[in-house]
Structure 1
């Protein structure tokens, strides 16, 4: 046989070069892989060990508190329950259900963690006989309850830029049925592999090469977490390679349970308008209105089914697809021994059991949310508000807010129609607070419900007109002890020289002079000239200083101050009238009760802060005068329309008829209404023709306690002759009962002739 030919020297050289080439390529590949591993490891550590998710701040309205003897109508309670998404049923069997038979209510209240207590889900029963809470008790054991608090309405959220929302849960809170459903469906070898499935990777590579356009599984739970949490949704071999590397690193660094918990909190379940629903905690609330640990096996299977395709298997839009997929998950649980045949058949017979599609932001309150954010930014950064999952408890009463929004739109149309103004010309802002505490219960910055543009309640500063007059009278009472409400002032022509050399001659709205009038009548009927004269008597600077002492900034000492040339926003005027409504205390209207962290730990309380700025006596005198104004003065339409409730109030009109104001309060609520044009042009409206009718329309439907002046030991009442200011004789025609500081009432009795 001939001898084998030895490779030539040239061939050997080529092989050596090729080996060196592959060796260098291998070294470069290893170096690249090393760098990639180091980089990926650093990325994982940075993101996974720190704050994993940016959590939006949740903003809640005021919770409904049920207490023995509390005033509450059945209609009001039903409105509250409807807003909260409670379901009226024949038999209440789960949290979020309620029964109602006549005046009897049985509510299965939801679990909720407040800033001051954790209120577990509980069954409560009570009657609303005579529109008061009676026989409040625990339905299970029959024990009487001092009070019960329903979960508050979620009125808004402060989102991070990506608009993701989630409720974080711990693995031990997740039912075994949900864990097992996920594993048998998505990754049966989860507890055995090191982050990747070689079969799955090979299949993905093959399909990417063939590019057949179909969706293919094969990724492990760890890979899915990496893809969703660290990477983009790009489909490529490179992304798949990075996914595999990072999955293995994740498995080396962290325990399986940590990975599974992160997966459950990361996964995407669909969209609720602009909000992305992430994590099983929020998905459980969204689909079933229950905490995660209360899910049934079938409900757990449905959540896993939705994960396959949040759009394709959306139980609201595609219920048949969702049901088929859920049943497939249940079948897999049966095949793997997670369920017995009996359990499988039982769960298979259940419906999807999803609640009516929730609107978790039932109350769109952009103006109020704007106020809340401004208050919060005094103590919290944007990052904290957008990402820390703060829970913000506010003072907003959702039922009153919803009613206000609905009534305001119609009331504004009525004003324009009555005054012959083109529809949509006028704008409005309305604020309602608790009279004694200053807590804001309703807040609107636009006539259009849910409008999120210019916030007139906060930012529209306009002349306030005659609503300033009660504080001019209060200044006179404070500055001159001899002045009482029976003081006579001559309402006649007055001319005041100005700095520019001109003379200012104020006019009454009716362009008439009324001769001698008491201060009481001048305020009730809102006469301008007597108020100007009173201010001149006291001193313009002293009146300005007094109003500043009530909490108003930078009041200019102008001759026209008593006619309301002062410019305030509706919120600032609310703060000023809060002094009268609270009995003489300066209380800043507030929107926030408390702030907690995402776990419910208290971060800050917002207590009511007050100081006395008006004496009780002077407050009593002014309030009685404004109470009279709603009966026989410029606001008398209020008593005619709502005769069952006493209000104290004052209209406000600017001289050029640009702005219409009304501020009024009952025992329980203070309301301020502004109406005008955004371009600040004349509208031909007055306080009586625009703001007052809107106030009436709103408060006709608000259950509020009638104003009670009550007895005060330092106050005496006398019937006064309005033509002289003296005690009224038997035959005096124009008389009024007027309060006085004790010992300051007149002693002379007017002898009126009988005729």
Structure 2
């Protein structure tokens, strides 16, 4: 009865202003928090696809849902925001949300599971009917990565009012709007009461604005104060009160209210504040903790728990007194809460949602694609390609790995060690993960993924093979081709160049496959000389690594500078069977209401034929299985990739993938101080740990062998073709039409072909 009376009163008040509340097309009413988002900046992660082929634990589904604020229950969900993990079903009542300019309605989805290992076998709807994997809306809604492109903000931890104990949210009403459930949005009695209380106290202890007014003000991006703005705020306040339930308004307020800065990071929402100041979920706060957070709202920095604990404590005592005065807490409960000593706080440094470098990249894209909206500070929505859960996992892995390196290698202890990790979906170029420094340094703003130009060392060798297996002066090579590993001298304008191997020894004659697996240097110099240094450099440029013109011959050993992003993009040529992609951090930029401003720029371009790319990919699998990349091998997956170590062991690299998921890793020091570690030591283990989180989160993809790739048996010691299964022979891959000679076609006294 009370609810109906309040709603009627609010509608009548709105009528005085002749306000028309607009309802979205189709009659569906968006949630208040969705509506609030229409007037601000929001940077979203990509939705997580619910696809067969992953396991529940590998995809970290419960953790992903809990990040989104879903509640785990013990039976099939009956309302949005709940999930249930059964023996052979995983039910998710996915919430309604906006994405790609459309309203995606709430939907109950069931994942059919294998009882053996929890593998997702299929997706069904509420009526047990199959749902096409990858179909419309078969995903988890995006996370908010950032709500500002200029300010660092902590990850918002959305709360559901219905899941909060009353003693957690009541202190907020006691502090800010005790008549919230009685007024219609504007509270004349509250203003009069606040004026009287402030006069008696000789200072501001109460405000006159209602919670609804505060919510409207906090979401208004216009800083100018005027009578017109005040009137507009009043009208919008009444609109909100007429359209939305009180509980929905209060929940939106609790999820958006500002709680100050901690370690330079803005904290917005009760969930984020509970985690930042007390290292716990909002639902687990006791009365004393809830009251002190409510106390901070009036002046989050002036009443900071960290910088001004005494002022915060005094305000908390006042809030508790109001709780007792209003009958919302007993005298005993208030006395117990007042008697609790809050400091020392269990602070959890509020890592911002997305690192600074990632958000800076997004800001660059927005500035380029929507310069007017960006410069004028207007609201917009940015739908990125990033996977928020994987981003956090990779950040944690990088921080742990760098700490481990410092602990295991004392000489690194005092060095500003850093790292870069970037993960792409090779098919689309979409960037899933971007970690561009040491996560332990919150002030680090340098983007090593895009801006650090370092020597890749042997990580460039697979790109050299693109020309070797392709045109190569009309004499293409193949994996079993015999090549000399020995001293070599090239006469250059600057003088003779005598490259050596990482190890000072030579192996004599080896196959090209073994030369890559063991990362030998001199065979690759011979390959580039055979194919032509400039055609080889041109092919690498086309793949995405910007070599100088003309390129010095040492480029074949990685003695040129490039970025981790360029290396990742160029290695996409291998799983894409010869096509390069553009790196895509942003899928879509839209106005706050969802209408399109710009799409992310994607595109593919052929660099080499599919057969040549596949041959290199096969060698890269070998490099992980039995070569310098063994530290990257991941149980249950077929990994491929290549280590790299620059001169004097300054830079450590590993670039590779699992199927079409591709990750580039660099570890080093910005000023080039030698690490004393190789790519096998410092980069491959980091790649392994990152991909151990990334690979299980996506369905495994097999890269089909092109029709122009064939097999043949070759003699181990000559590389010539022989009959199948002949002793001392093995089967290898070849590009059709570029197979080696058959052994019987050579005279007995004719020398075996070796590239020298």
* Fold match (TM-score > 0.5): yes
1:60 aligns with 2:48: no
Q: Quick check: 1:627–1:648 contact (8 Å CA) kept in 2?
A: yes
Report whether the alignment pairs 1:657 with 2:640.
Answer: no
Q: 1:657 offset after TM fit, Å?
A: 1.4
CA shift at 1:370, angstroms?
A: 2.3
**Secondary structure of 1:663 counterpart:** strand
Aligned counterparts of 2:571 and 2:708: Cα–Cα separation in 1 = 23
- CA shift in 2, pair 1:126/1:385, >3 Å: farther
Native 8 Å contact 1:521 1:722 kept in 2: no
Partner of 2:461: 469
Matching residue of 2:421 = 430
Distance 1:322 1:125 in 2: 45
Find 1:569's aligned residue among 563, 567, 572.
Answer: 563
- CA shift digits 1:294-313 (9 cap, x unpaired): xxxxxxxx99x979964799
In structure 2, relative to structure 1, the CA distance for the partners of 1:329 and 1:384 (3 Å cut) is: farther
- CA shift, 1:112, in A, is 0.8
What is the 5 A alignment of 1:466-545? 466-476=458-468, 477-485=470-478, 486-500=480-494, 502-545=495-538
What is the aligned residue count? Answer: 618
Residue 401 (structure 1) aligned to one of 379, 383, 391: 391
Higher relative contact order (CA 8 A, sep 6+): 2
Q: 2:110 aligns with which of 106, 112, 125?
A: 125
Matched, 1:99 2:93: no
Alpha-carbon distance in 1 for matches of 2:546, 2:99: 36
Change (3 A) 1:615 1:163: closer
Map Cα deviations across residues 418-461 of structure 1 (whole Å, 9 max, x no partner): 55543363321111111322211111112335745122112211
Task: Give the 3 Å change call, closer, same or farther, for CA 212–370 of structure 1 in structure 2.
Answer: closer
| Aligned counterparts of 1:708 and 1:663: Cα–Cα separation in 2 | 19
Deviations 1:313-353 (A, max 9, x none): 99x9999987986898899xxxxxxxxxxxxxxxxxxxxxx
| 8 Å contact kept, 1:663–1:673 | yes
- Change in Cα spacing, 1:227 to 1:688, as seen in structure 2 (3 Å) is closer
Task: Tell whether the 8 Å contact from 1:127 to 1:136 is kept in structure 2 after alignment.
Answer: yes
Pair 1:77-2:61 in alignment: yes
1:691 aligns with 2:676: no
**1:715 and 2:715 equivalent?**
no
Which residue pairs with 1:297 in the alignment?
none
1:547 deviates by: 1.5
Distance 1:254 1:533, change over 3 A: closer
Which residue number corresponds to residue 371 of structure 2?
381
Equivalent position of 1:674 in the other structure? 666
Q: Does 1:610 align with 2:604?
A: yes
Contact 2:153 2:353 in 1 (8 A): no
Alpha-carbon spacing, 1:738–1:377, altered in 2? closer, same or farther (3 Å): farther
Describe how 1:49-448 pairs up with structure 2 within 5 A. 56-67=40-51, 69-74=52-57, 76-90=60-74, 92=77, 94-129=79-114, 130-134=117-121, 136-139=123-126, 142-146=128-132, 147=135, 148-158=138-148, 181=181, 183=183, 187-188=187-188, 212-213=202-203, 215=205, 257-258=235-236, 260-261=238-239, 269-271=257-259, 273=261, 310=298, 363-381=353-371, 384=374, 387-418=377-408, 421-423=411-413, 425=415, 426-448=417-439
TM-score, normalised to structure 1's length? 0.70
Give CA-to-partner distance per residue, 1:4-54, whole Å, 9 cap, x none.
Answer: xxxxxxxxxxxxxxxxxxxxxxxxxxxxxxxxxxxxxxxxxxxxxxxx999
Give the corresponding residue for 2:3: none
Say whether the 8 Å CA contact 2:577–2:610 is kept in structure 1: yes
Distance 2:528 2:272 in 1: 61
* Cα drift, residue 673 of structure 1: 1.0
Aligned-pair distance for 1:149?
2.3
Structure 1 contact 552–572 (Cα < 8 Å) conserved: yes
Alignment partner of 1:511: what SS? coil
- Aligned-partner Cα distance in 1 for 2:97–2:350: 15
| 1:643-682 per-position Cα deviation (integer Å, ceiling 9, x unaligned) | 4221221111123211111111121311111111222022
Structure 2 length normalisation: TM-score? 0.70
Q: 1:218 to 1:570 in 2, by over 3 A?
A: closer
For 2:63 and 2:517, the matched residues in 1 are separated by 38
Decide which of 587, 595, 610 is 1:593's aligned counterpart: 587
- Are the aligned partners of 2:623 and 2:629 in contact in 1 as well (CA < 8 Å)? yes
Please give the secondary structure, in 1, of the residue aligned with 2:487.
coil
C-alpha offsets along residues 211-264 of structure 1, whole Å, 9 cap, x if unaligned? 84464777899999999999xx9xxxxxxxxx9xx76x789x779645644999
Per mean C-alpha deviation after superposition, the further-off stretch among 322-331 and 510-519 is 322-331
1:98 CA displacement: 2.1
In the aligned structure 2, how far is the partner of 1:223 from the partner of 1:73? 43
Matches within 5 A, 1:23-42: none
Give the whole-Å Cα distance in 2 for the aligned partners of 1:440 and 1:72: 23
Give me the whole-angstrom Cα distance separating, in 2, the residues matched to 1:746 and 1:219.
Answer: 84
User: What are the within-5 Å matches in structure 2 for residues 722-741 of structure 1?
Assistant: 722-728=716-722, 735-741=729-735
d(CA) in 2 for partners of 1:226 and 1:721?
78
Mean Cα deviation higher: 416-425 or 558-567 = 416-425
Structure of larger gyration radius: 1
What CA deviation, in whole Å up to 9, does each residue of 1:547-589 have, x standing for no partner? 2222333434212111111200111111111222322111012
Flag the 1:635–1:598 CA change in 2: closer, same or farther, 3 A: same
1:11 matched to which residue of 2? none
Q: CA, structure 1 residues 535+134, in 2 after alignment: closer, same or farther (shift >3 Å)?
A: closer
Distance between the aligned counterparts of 2:473 and 2:186, measured in 1? Answer: 83
CA distance in 2, matches of 1:698, 1:227: 42
Matched, 1:748 2:739: no
Q: Secondary structure of 1:118's partner?
A: strand
Question: Partners in 1 of 2:637 and 2:209 — Cα distance?
Answer: 68
1:549 to 542, 546, 571: 542
Contact map agreement 1:229 1:266 (CA 8 A) in 2: no
In structure 1, how many angstroms separate the alpha carbons of the residues matched to 2:412 and 2:527? Answer: 39
Checking the alignment, whether the CA contact within 8 Å between 2:384 and 2:588 is kept in structure 1 is yes
Secondary structure, counterpart of 1:691 in structure 2: helix
SS in 2 for 1:433: strand
- RMSD over aligned Cα atoms: 4.8
